[in-house]
Every structure is written in C-alpha cells, then in structure tokens.
Chain A
Amino acid sequence: MPFTTIGKQFVTWRLGSSLSNMYISNMAIGEGSGTAVSGNTTLISETVRNQITGSPNFTSGLIAIFQGDFNSVQMSGTSFSEFGLFQSGVLGVGSVWQREAFGSVVFDGTNELQIISTLQVK
C-alpha cells in the first residue's frame, strides 16, 4: 500500500517548517482502475471526497489511524475501486498522500461505506 512520493515530500517539508494545513484531513474514493504506486499524485477517477471522521487516532506510538465515512446517498451507484488520503477537502484538488486500489465493489444505494487506514512510521 503506497505512501506516495509526494506524501513523503509533504512529510519532509513538515520536518523543517510550520506550513499550515499540511496534514491529512480528508479522504476520497473513486472508480478508477490501475495499480496503486508511489508515483500516484491523484486518484484515477475520484468521485467523492469527505473530511475524515473525528480526529486521527494517535493512541499507539508511531501510528496514526484515519477513518472516512461515506453515506448511502454518496455511495449509490458507485463502482468503488480506489481511495486516497488528502490535505485538501475539495474534490479533485491537491495531491494524494496515500492511495490504494482494488477490484471494484458496486454500491446499489442500500449500503454505506467506512474506510479505516492505519499509517505507521518506522
């Protein structure tokens, strides 16, 4: 699961500056296909972007856990096949810190989606 090169660049900048808003605060889903690689800067076909639910969970050392929730209205008719973590909350804006892709799952409007992503620093 790639933490993207641009994501690493963001972390690097944060090491030596006080850049505001340079942190993960949003999660997006999409319908694009294609293996997730560290060179990804966007989702292939982004459909919905939401603010992460609550605050990240930093309870365990060197671990940050992000939760994203998407309701049944947003998911209705979606062929969900990728998601990513973003700083920006605007659909299609900004670079993806982390992206994952998998075989598509079709939502027919009777279900809602929850994504939990755990990032660990080693």
Chain B
Amino acid sequence: MATIIGSFASPSTIPIGLTWTGSELISSDMIITSIYIHSGLSSTLTGSFASPSTNPTGLAWTGSELISSDYSKDHIYIHSGLSSTLTGSFASPSTNPIGLTWTGSELISADNGTNHIYIHSGLSSTLTGSFASPSTNPTGLTWTGSELISADYDTDHIYIHSGLSSTLTGSFASPSTNPAGLAWTGSELISADYDTDHIYIIDISEGPTTFTITPSDSLTLNETVTASLTGVTVFTATPSDSLNLGETVTPIHTQIKETFTISITDSLTLGEDITVSLVSESTTFTTNPIDSLTLNETVTVIYTQIKETFTVSITDSLNLHEGISYPETAYNIKTKIEIEGTEYSDYKNLQVKKAMSNYNSSSSFSLRLDSPFGRHKSDFTVGNEIVIYAQNTKNTPTTKLLTGIIEKIKFNGSGTYQEVILSGRDYSARLQDASIEPSVFTDSEVSTIVTNLIQNFVSEVTFSNVNVTSTTLERIAFRHTSVFDAISELAELSSSFWYVDTDKDLHFEQKDSVSSGFTLDNTNILSTNYEQTREGMVNDVWVYGDKYLSGYEEVLTGDGGSVFTLLNRPHNTSLNYLGSPYKGGIWQLTSTPISGIEYYVNYFDRELIFISGTDLGYSSIITSGGSVVANYDREIPIVRHERDKTSIANYGKRTKVIQDDAIKDPTTATNIAAKEILKSDPMKGLEVDFRGWKDLVPGQTIRVTLDNFNIDNIVGILNVDYNFTAERIRSNKVIKIRLDTKILDITDQIKELSNKVKKLESRSIVEQQTITRYEEYDSDFSVVGSYWKTQKRTIGSSFMLGHLVNGILGSPAVSVVGSQLALGDSRGVFSIMTSGGET
C-alpha cells in the first residue's frame, strides 16, 4: 500500500516541517531557521525566508496563509501568504509543538512533549478536542481530506487515523529512521526524514499490498494457516509444520473478515517465506496452481470481487522472500492532464462524458481547478488544446482518454476561495461547428463524400481512417447542414460508425457489433436504473420528399357537354383543336366570362370547362364526335410508407411523418423509412454505476446480466461518464455507463425542432448555384532578437600570441596579473557585462 516512488535531498540537514500549497512544497529546517519554497515537488528552490523564531517545526497551508510552529518559543504563527510577514500568533497547546496541518476549517497540532494531537477551533489557541498520539514521539501531521496521517520518530512508522481520531486504520514503516514532516498533495504522501536529510514521495493508494507468511515449522498437506492483517502493515503467518507440493495456506484477513487462498507451488522448508501482493485490502482472491511452478510458468489469479482475471507470470522458481507482482490492471486509476503541453495536477474534479449514438461517438469534459490568489488567472485561453490521460497503472498514465479544445473558462470566487472551471469538447466539435456550403453529390460512394466534406469544410481533423463502404448514393444534397449531422446521416445510410480519435483523426468504419468481452453483473455494478418506454418508438412511418411535374396528354372527345374531367390535377395546361391552340382562363376568377377565353381550368376538381353563351356571342364547346388534345403537367410526389403490424398490434400505433424537400429521389425516401421503422420496439435505457476501470471503445457492446431486472442481453454502449475526484479514484468508482437504446428527452426534442427550422430556412437555397467567394488570409512571421549577452573573462597568466604583455615568454616577463607567464590555459571564467532583449 505504501510505495516510495521518488525522493530528493532536503534543502538542509534537519527538515522538520512540510506542507503543500497545491502547486509547491514548503519545507522548514529546524537548525537553519529557514522556510523554503520548492519548485513543485522537487529539490529546486524558488525562494526562502527566515522563520519567525529559532526552531521552526510544523507547517500548514490554509489555502491563503502559511502557518508555522516553533519548538523553542512554543508558539504558532500565522504568516501573510508565503512570506516571513506575520499577521498573528498564539501559544501552542503545550511546550513542544512539532506537527501542524489544516483540515479546511481547523488547525491540528501535535506535541511530542505531551504525545498528544490537538484540534484547534479554527486558527486559534482554543482547543475543541485532543487525543493521544499513536506512539511516544509524534512529529509530522497531514490531512488527506478525510483522514489524518501522523508520523512518529520513535517507532519510525506513519499512521493513518480514522478521520480526526486516535483510531488507526493502518500504518506502515517510514522510509527511514527519523520521519518528521508530512504533506499530502492530493494523491501522494510526502515525508521528510531528518536522519537521511531526504524528502520522500510515497504512493499510499490502494495498490498492491505486500504481506509475508513465514512458516516457523513444517506444514502438512492442506494445513490452514491463519494470519492477521493490521491495516496496511506487513504481517506474518506461522504455519505449524512443513509445506508439501500442492499444499494450500489460507490466511484470514481479520480486518475485513475476508478469506483468501495462496497456493504453494513447491515444497517449503522451515522458515521459508512466501510473499504475494494483495490488490486491495477489501478484496478476496484465489491463486490455484495445481503443481510446481517452473521457470516462466503462468499462474491465473481470480479476483473474485469484480470477476476479473489477472495473469501473473512467474519468471523463476519461488525463492525465499520472493514476491509475485500483479499486472498494471490491478492498480488504481491514475490521471494526467496536459493543456498546451503543460501538466496540471491540482484539479478538484474532472468529468469526461463520452456520448455514443447509434452511428457516432463524441466526448466532452469539465475540469475544476483550485485557483487561490489567482494561481491560474492567466494559464488558460479559449481554444487551448487539452489532453486527458487515464489508466489503471502503477506509473504515469499514457493512454489518452480525450483530446479536445477548451471552449469555456469560468472563474468562481468567494472570500479567499477561488476556482476556475474549464469545459469543452473533443475535436468532433470542429464538425459540429462547421456548416456545409450548399452542395450536392450524385452517384458517389459514401467514403468519398465523407473525405470531401472534411477536406473542404473542417480544419484540424484528418481523415486517414475513412474506410471505403459498399454504399453508393444516387444523390444527396446538403444545404448548410452541420458536418457532424451530415456524416452521421452518411453513417446511417451506409451502416457505418464514426468518431474522431484522440489523435484528431476521423474514423469512419463499418458498423458491426464488436463485443468488449466484458460482462456487467451484480458483482461489479454499484447501482442500476432500468427504464422501458413507448416514448420515441415508431411503427408507422410516412416519408414525404420533394414533388416533380411530369408531362401528360389526354384526348377529349366531344359529346355536346361543356365540362371534361381530367385524370390528374393539371399544371401548365394547353389545348389544341385541329392544330390551333385554345385560349384558357381560371375557373371562377371572374363572374362574367371574358371575351376571347375558350376554356377554364378548375385545378382542384381536375376539370376543363368550355364556355359558350348568348352574351358572349360564341361557343367553344367541342362538337359531338370532335376531339381536343389536352397537354398538361401532372404532379408526382416522392412518398414512402412503412409499418410494423406486429408492433402496432402489441403496443398500438405510433405514427411518424417526415416531410423533407431535400429528399429528391425514392431510394433516399425508402432508406429513411426503413431506418425509422427499426424503432418499432419500446425504448430501453439502462444506467449503471460501475466499480473498477475499463477502457471502453466506441461502438462496442457489453453483456448485462441482472436477474432481478430480468435482463440478460448484449447491448450497445450509449454513454460513458468518467467522474474523477480524489475520493472516487481511491475507491474505483469513476465510471457511469448508459446502455441499450436512447430514451428521448427534452434535449432530443429541441434538437429535432432545431433541425426542422434549419431545413425550413434553407428551402430556398439552391445547391447548384455558384457562390462568389472572396477569402483573405493573414499570417504573421517575425524575427525577434530574443536575448543577447556580452561577457568577458581575464586572460590570467596564459600566453597570448601577439599580446603586449602576455605575448612575451621567459623571465623576468610576467603576465597581466603579475604572475609568471605560462603556456597552457589559465584564463578565468566568463562573467556577464551587459545583456538585454526579451524572451
């Protein structure tokens, strides 16, 4: 559980106090009487100042003020920020104050005269409580946010307290023999040791815990050994006789009452040790080799709590004190955040949302950082690139979770508390924000359309993973559609799936149900919501596209009547009688027939009405047996209809009507109707809080088995929300997954309305029109003299050819510095005379 992951020399020889400001380590030295400001977590110093008195010990940081204690003056001092200026002081609870820490609302101090730890009322000498220290010489204190950690230089141990109490939940040996100051960075414990004069960085996350079983005598076959694990310390089990081949030792983890089994792979002799690594102290696991271990043999360990299987490689036979280490996947989650190449580790909360629809995946993030006294006031700019790494690993994570753009920067402040919240999306945002200028593609394979759209309308996104599809579209038009929506539509039409990866490259690939090989069940699910609804389902679809006018001809044979009914409603009608055109008019446009008009068109009743009368003075009625040729254009709409009778019978009719003038051909209308009718079953939504870490790839499926909800299905992933806080990371509760089908909510309805309005507004835009474009570019290139310096050095007693003084060899000649001239280089070092410029 406690692993030293780094160390460096302390600034001086008696480092006693330590604290962490969020970005810098502060240390004090009891003899030198100085307080040092380190550059981050390193030995490099960026400043120092004198301590208030002669024996500075504990240090604490409140977020805006440094607090220090003094061993000889028995006082606690309040500094103005990180400076030697004091704004107050008060007497310590007893005569040997040594450790200090700040919980966010209270000062905690330790005294190694009384061997007590004191809880102060805020920043004052008033005490609200106290308790005995774990041993006789408490030194450093630090507060992790939920637990007090103390060090003791008598026992050379570091103790983890249950909150602010004397109850211990664990302890481990300090890195060396005189642990003093402690500090907590949010993820690592820092410890100073005045014996080795070093500062140690310790990982106390729930990584592998090592314990040792030491048989003190021989074991017999299947004999059981019981061992107690105290907190996180190493413990020893004592079997009572020798172990034989295939023998099993079962220690009982008394702290959490769980049992695990260790298989002994070869005979053990009296006193021989076996060391194994425990993944988590609240975990049961079983190793079960069935025979002796030989070189490079593999043992499979079943981690029963979350049903994951780890493979442990044994690289040689087990020897005395030899350990088995677990793979990277057994470690807790670690994160790394880089903004424009600079790493930021002082975040309070990080949320990454991966939204996966049926045809694409996109991600967004929200990052909350402390910014006391404007720490990050000028660090970020809208448009900065952010890269988020996350991985369960022992080391620095290298797997990218998201590469995106900061789109919003928000500062919050209250009193001395300040924070900055950064939010934005991954590079699919470039596709969401870009609009396609009016364009039409005919007889084009889908991947060529995708690459064309990215090339012409999107910047910063490459397209080296756009795969050729088997779908060729006869015609598709875009009129200021967003590139995101257009590519989603193309993915839908070609059964593809797309996303922008963390290297900013577009993937457009054949959609297939790739299994993640992972099962969610009641052993790894922390909580579940499951919902079924009719909302959003469709079992009766009408698709109306554009309308076309098509020429038609009818021959009207006279029967003495004046009214002829046509087969279709006529557009652009013309009549010919014996080769001469008839003059037409509109029915009921005037109450009295206009002279010269020979027929009227009644469009809605599909009638041609020939006129005659005494007042008019002529008759246009076709003589019986005579004929007139009527030419007109009839209207042919593109319409498609699909319905699912079984669904209608089971759930009732749910009709959806789609009217879209952009649909210009029957094939597109058919495809759209076929896609909509797939929603003829009730929508199912499953929301799961998941324990552990899983790198989920867009488009994959997961098996879900939950007997109590009557679920045993393989379903697709819709959303993955990663919520990183110190507490969630430590307890492995970072991931929330949404599965199955998307249940429509108000945001989906708003999106649909927005799309409809966009289509209405773009109706008059003609794809083929030529648009004159004038584009102007401005770029900057300047050469600046960044920095210069001139420096000189003395020539000393070096021989210089041609020099009036140093160019003369031999006695009694001397050099410019008065000493005997010599061959060889005895010049001084350069010192800067003048410098300037800018960096």
Cβ of A120 < 8 Å from any Cβ of B?
yes
How many Å lie between the Cα of A3 and that of B802 in the bound state? 35
Cβ of A109 < 8 Å from any Cβ of B?
yes
Interface size of B as a range: 20 to 34
Interface size of A as a range: 20 to 34
Chain B min CB distance to A121 (Å): 5
CB contacts (< 8 Å) of B780 on chain A: these are 122
Do A3 and B783 touch across chains, with their CB atoms under 8 A apart?
Answer: yes
How many Å lie between the Cα of A114 and that of B784 in the bound state? 21
How many Å lie between the Cα of A111 and that of B784 in the bound state? 30
Cβ of A86 < 8 Å from any Cβ of B?
no
Please, what's the 1-or-0 string for A92-122, where 1 marks a CB less than 8 Å from any CB in chain B? 0000001010110101011111111111111
Please, what's the 1-or-0 string for B766-794, where 1 marks a CB less than 8 Å from any CB in chain A? 00000000000000111111111111111
- Quick one: which of B781, B789, B806, B837 contacts A72, CB cutoff 8 A? B806
Contact (A71, B800) CB under 8 Å given A105-B833, A119-B785: yes
Contact (A112, B827) CB under 8 Å given A102-B836, A118-B787, A120-B786: yes
How many Å lie between the Cα of A100 and that of B833 in the bound state? 14
Number of inter-chain CB pairs below 8 Å: 96
CB contacts (< 8 Å) of B827 on chain A: these are 112
Do A115 and B789 touch across chains, with their CB atoms under 8 A apart?
Answer: yes
List the 3 shortest-distance A-B pairs measured between CB atoms, nearest first.
Answer: A1-B785, A120-B786, A110-B816
Do B788 and A118 touch across chains, with their CB atoms under 8 A apart?
Answer: yes
Do B785 and A110 touch across chains, with their CB atoms under 8 A apart?
Answer: no
Query: A97: nearest residue on chain B (CB-CB)?
Result: B783
How many Å lie between the Cα of A112 and that of B792 in the bound state? 5
Do B795 and A110 touch across chains, with their CB atoms under 8 A apart?
Answer: yes
CB contacts (< 8 Å) of A105 on chain B: these are 790, 792, 833-834
- Quick one: which of A1, A7, A73, A112 contacts B788, CB cutoff 8 A? A1
CB contacts (< 8 Å) of B791 on chain A: these are 113-116
Query: A121: nearest residue on chain B (CB-CB)?
Result: B783
Cβ of B714 < 8 Å from any Cβ of A?
no
Cβ of A76 < 8 Å from any Cβ of B?
yes
Residue among B780, B803, B827 having the largest count of chain A Cβ atoms under 10 Å: B803
Cβ of A2 < 8 Å from any Cβ of B?
yes
How many Å lie between the Cα of A108 and that of B307 in the bound state? 82
How many Å lie between the Cα of A95 and that of B785 in the bound state? 17
Cβ of B817 < 8 Å from any Cβ of A?
yes
CB contacts (< 8 Å) of B611 on chain A: these are none
How many Å lie between the Cα of A119 and that of B838 in the bound state? 10
Do A110 and B784 touch across chains, with their CB atoms under 8 A apart?
Answer: no
Query: A113: nearest residue on chain B (CB-CB)?
Result: B792
Do B804 and A109 touch across chains, with their CB atoms under 8 A apart?
Answer: yes
- 23 A/B residue pairs, CB under 8 Å, sorted by A: A3-B783, A3-B785, A71-B800, A72-B806, A73-B800, A73-B802, A73-B807, A83-B790, A100-B785, A100-B836, A105-B792, A109-B804, A109-B816, A112-B795, A114-B790, A114-B791, A115-B788, A115-B789, A118-B788, A119-B786, A120-B785, A121-B781, A122-B780
CB contacts (< 8 Å) of B817 on chain A: these are 110
- Quick one: which of B783, B789, B795 contacts A116, CB cutoff 8 A? B789
Contact (A111, B790) CB under 8 Å given A8-B783, A73-B802, A76-B804: no
- Quick one: which of A72, A98, A114, A115 contacts B795, CB cutoff 8 A? A72
Do A115 and B790 touch across chains, with their CB atoms under 8 A apart?
Answer: yes
Do A109 and B789 touch across chains, with their CB atoms under 8 A apart?
Answer: no
Cβ of B604 < 8 Å from any Cβ of A?
no
CB contacts (< 8 Å) of B803 on chain A: these are 72-73, 76, 109
CB contacts (< 8 Å) of A72 on chain B: these are 795, 800, 803, 806
